[in-house]
Chain A
Amino acid sequence: MKKILIALHGDEVSPRFDQTGEAWIGTIHDGAIMRRRNVVLPQASSEGLCHLAVTEGVDAIVCGGIEDEFYQYLHWKRITVYDNVIGPMEQVAQAYMEGSLAAGAVFTEGEQP
């Protein structure tokens, strides 16, 4: 059983951890999402999101940019942080379940103008 938190901006991974106002929390078991819910934060803040992650007991966090201070804090709390991730939430969650998610992963098509 694993719990993952994805910082959201719309239905995508939020580009910045500290500007995130919504998070998706999913409980994953045997390669399937057993429980999912969206949490809307009263205000966007890194501290609030860290607190949410710790109190929820998540195993991993997915976000875009995150300050090193909070990255180290979460690491210290034994939470795996996949940062610099770009892409829709569903694809990111799927990649996590498949074990193919990595920091810096890009799931959004780079459309050439």
Chain B
Amino acid sequence: MAHAPQAQPPSPPQSPVNTPGKGVTGGITPLLTGLLPQSVAADALLDSLPFGIAVLSAEKRIVRLNSRAQALLGVGDEAHGLPCYHVVRSARCLRECPVPAILRSLRATQDEPAESGSCRGETAPCDTDILDRQRRKVPVRSCVLPLCDPAGGAVGYLEVLEEATCPAPGLPQQEEGSSMEGFIARSPAMQPLFSAMRIIAETDSTLLITGETGTGKDLLAEGIHKASPRSGGPFVKVNCGALPEHLLESELFGHMRGAFTGAVSDKPGRFRLAAGGTLFLTEIGDLPLALQVKLLTVLDDQCVHPLGATRPVSVDVRIIAATHRNLEAMVREGTFRQDLLFRLNVVRLHVPPLRDRDGDIPALLDHFLRRFSASTAKSLRGFTPQAMKILCEYPWPGNVRELRNVVEYAVHFTTGDMVDISGLPASILAPPAEALPSGGDGSAGRTYTAPHAPRPPEGQSGQEPGQPEQATTPPPAAQGVSGTAPQEQQTFRTWQEKERSMILDALARTGGRKQEAADTLGWSRSTLWRKMKQHALE
């Protein structure tokens, strides 16, 4: 950036492209002059960069945020003029702002001969994190550069923010045998998916991903984005079923200031925040009919109409949609538009359920066991043959998500170095033999019979809280599984631990409502209150 042209005041109009005027957001369009024969629109240049860029004034206030930075930070034009540490909110901002070091460096080298227009004082990139407006802590790599005048004095700063995508230290690295980042799959059922994925990633076609809940549709969508030429752009996810209709419209397409009561500032909308990247519409089957029409328009015209806007805004976005619903059946029922289905269904990928992925269950169990063991600092070696048999025979209606949760539970409640039957949740040991959730491709109504599994130990399932005395005996050593009947196994070291866990579980399931939690546990409210105090759960 040392030789980058300086931002100049707007030059006289030379062509409609570089004529200074009101931008989309109502601000003056800044120009870069002197680099090319004609001026260059600075906003377009900043927006095309594959990093988040915050242009700061000499007083460290926000001058411009490019679209990538807006998507990363979750703010729009309302941030202009605010102190940078209130907008960027990186951990580095409050601990050690790099600007004083840059100024010291500039002052120290002021007397040294330097090339005309060059600027010193760059700081090394720093790994830190930001807190975005969706209350997520996002690891980023931040670098602050001074913007210098021809004499070498700092007139502003440029903060470059790049989302860090490397895995967290301590976590196991990607396994061999998986064919895509994040996917643990060795089964033949997954190979056609991976083959198709490589081709699809190279295209810009709209993609529809179907599959049962918990099969990894989100992971697949993100994997395709990362493998695509748009990987440098943002991956913006919208859950179509999570917001009410009027909010979803504003969230997707944005709105202009004053479009409705409470619209105090312009909002770019997710389509514009995903510019240059991928917009992932999950639970597309839950999209209200009125919005299906608007989405249809976007897919046709490649432009969005923000609420209250007088003209459309072009967007360069790849759309990936996903659902666990049977869209064809929804079309027949009249709850999903057929023309939208045709447009979304350009390329379709179906993620097979876990029960159809022969051989993947042990690999996934091993992967999650190592992952959770590392995160909880436990050294678990694996599963006992009995536990592995039960896990492999289980139908996994919740697919990989359920498997991951089961392993997490087992890691927490296993006391030895091998996960045995006593470490498994009761739902696995005695799964209901009812129909499983329907798949996205007409697998509804398929019935699975539970494997012959031993009954869970009494008091372990949390359904028999009235018999605590049966669980007060110390647990046997985890290695002694083979010689002990599973009914006599204990998951918890003490009844106190078990009781505390039951209380927490009941409170979590009832959203903290103590009366309901007490009812669930079969206790009176006062008993629950007393036991909560006893366990310091206030």
Cα distance A108–B93 when bound, in Å?
Answer: 18
The interface residues of chain B lying within 8 Å CB-to-CB of A68 are 134-136
Verify B61–A65 contact, CB threshold 8 A. Answer: no
Most B CB atoms within 10 A — which of A66, A106, A108, A113? A113
7 more contacts with CB within 8 A, not counting A15-B94, A64-B89, A111-B61, are A18-B131, A64-B86, A65-B89, A110-B61, A110-B81, A113-B58, A113-B61
Verify A86–B82 contact, CB threshold 8 A. Answer: yes
CB distance from B25 to the nearest CB of A (A): 13
Q: Which of A1-48 contact B (CB under 8 A)?
A: 9, 14-19
Residues of B bordering A, CB below 8 Å = 57-59, 61, 63, 78-83, 85-86, 89, 91, 93-95, 131-137, 156, 512
Cα distance A5–B82 when bound, in Å?
Answer: 23
The interface residues of chain B lying within 8 Å CB-to-CB of A108 are 82-83, 86
Q: A16-B94, A111-B61, A113-B59 are in contact. Are A67 and B82 (CB under 8 A)?
A: no
Cα distance A18–B89 when bound, in Å?
Answer: 11
Residues of A bordering B, CB below 8 Å = 9, 14-19, 64-68, 71, 76, 83-84, 86, 104, 106, 108-113
What are 21 A-to-B residue pairs whose CB atoms are below 8 Å? A9-B94, A15-B93, A15-B94, A18-B131, A19-B95, A64-B86, A64-B89, A65-B89, A65-B132, A65-B135, A66-B131, A68-B134, A84-B133, A108-B82, A108-B86, A109-B81, A110-B79, A110-B82, A112-B81, A113-B59, A113-B63
CB distance from B376 to the nearest CB of A (A): 17
The interface residues of chain A lying within 8 Å CB-to-CB of B131 are 16-18, 64-67
**Chain B contact residues: over half helix, strand or loop, or mixed?**
mixed
CB distance from B54 to the nearest CB of A (A): 13
Verify B512–A15 contact, CB threshold 8 A. Answer: no
Cα distance A111–B80 when bound, in Å?
Answer: 8
CB distance from B434 to the nearest CB of A (A): 32
The interface residues of chain B lying within 8 Å CB-to-CB of A65 are 89, 131-133, 135
CB distance from A9 to the nearest CB of B (A): 7
Query: Taking CB as reference atom, which chain A residue is nearest B73?
Result: A65
The interface residues of chain A lying within 8 Å CB-to-CB of B94 are 9, 14-16, 19
B89's partner among A16, A71, A109, A110 (CB-CB below 8 A) is A16
Cα distance A104–B265 when bound, in Å?
Answer: 12
Query: Taking CB as reference atom, which chain B residue is nearest A76?
Result: B512
The interface residues of chain A lying within 8 Å CB-to-CB of B133 are 65, 84, 104
The interface residues of chain A lying within 8 Å CB-to-CB of B136 are 67-68
CB distance from A41 to the nearest CB of B (A): 14
The interface residues of chain A lying within 8 Å CB-to-CB of B156 are 113
Verify A67–B80 contact, CB threshold 8 A. Answer: no
The interface residues of chain B lying within 8 Å CB-to-CB of A84 are 133
Q: A15-B94, A19-B94 are in contact. Are A67 and B137 (CB under 8 A)?
A: yes
Query: Taking CB as reference atom, which chain A residue is nearest B132?
Result: A65
Cα distance A112–B78 when bound, in Å?
Answer: 11
Cα distance A66–B57 when bound, in Å?
Answer: 26
The interface residues of chain B lying within 8 Å CB-to-CB of A64 are 86, 89, 131
Verify B91–A111 contact, CB threshold 8 A. Answer: no
CB distance from B7 to the nearest CB of A (A): 11
Verify B81–A111 contact, CB threshold 8 A. Answer: yes
Cα distance A14–B133 when bound, in Å?
Answer: 14
Most A CB atoms within 10 A — which of B80, B81, B94? B94
